[in-house]
Amino acid sequence: MRYVVTGGAGFIGSNLAEQLASDGHEVVIVDDLSTGRRENIKDLIGQSRVTFIEGSVTDLDLLVDVCRGANGIFHQAAVASVPRSVANPRETNEVNVAGTVNVLWAAKECGVSAVVAASTSAIYGNDPVFPKRETMAPTPLSPYAVSKLAGEYYGKVFSDLYGIRTVFLRYFNVFGPRQDPDSEYAAVIPKFISRLIDGKPPIIYGDGEQTRDFIAVADVVRANILAMENSASGVFNIAGGSRISLNELAGNLSAITGIHLQPLYEPPRPGDVRDSLADISRAGEAFGFSPRYTLDEGLRRTVAWFHNGSP
């Protein structure tokens, strides 16, 4: 198969592109390197069946060019940070909403039959009902969450109007190799690990009793491929199906690294969700997804990658 991966030099996208290439598919990576890194795909670029194109999903003409002859599109490109979206909602809208419409339009123009796209659990906001199910009314708290919800709606409309099969995967808290700890808006696990390795205490925003449903990136990659290879369409939660507090997470990482430092506590950040827990049964029923990695296994693989540069 020939697949296009937008955001393919990013954290999730590069892991996905690597697996697709390993499976023998032709892979076209599109990334403007604004948050993605060439280092993430350095081992892929030299392969005969992998093409890297530096460009943005905001460039419709480019997308139409690269999507010709594709069997499917994995749309991972996004401004994928709640704090960044709060700081710059216009940029978030341009990339996440207009960029998703461009991807869907390119699929329509090029006769691509399926688009599997990244969405987010942030759409659920602080609804007090747990676990989160796809049928719940959205209550987004940030421009990021709003932009992802708009993308889902566009996906449904393009499916209904133009016959493109669209799947939007609501990622919960993804972690693993290649997640950048140095970004101002880095996710919690790489931040915790990198600070511990550097001999610094992890920083927790809030009281640390907020909970997250973490999932290893290898499981997210598998969910994307399963969704593409099956006939499913619609919106699906992709998560581990259990939750842990940030205080407990910090303790677990201290135990794994052998570095014991008391966390520093900072004020909560605007737009952050308090608690998170997914019902993942719908994805299991539709395309056979269930996580293979426990949180502990995933954390150990991630710590090893931070130490050695490989999982």
Lookup: tokens for 298: 């995933």
Query: 50-54 and 214-216: which strand pairing?
Result: unpaired
Name the E strands within the chain.
2-6, 26-31, 50-54, 72-75, 114-120, 165-171, 173-175, 203-205, 211-212, 214-216, 234-238, 244-245, 264-266
Catalytic residue among 3, 124, 144, 293: 144
What burial letters (b/e) apply to 131-165, b meaning 16+ CB within 10 Å? bbebeeeeebbbbbbbbbbbbbebbeebbeeeebb
Whether the CB-CB separation of 18 and 10 falls below 8 Å is answered with: no
Let me know if 144 is a catalytic residue: yes
Q: Which residues are catalytic?
A: 144
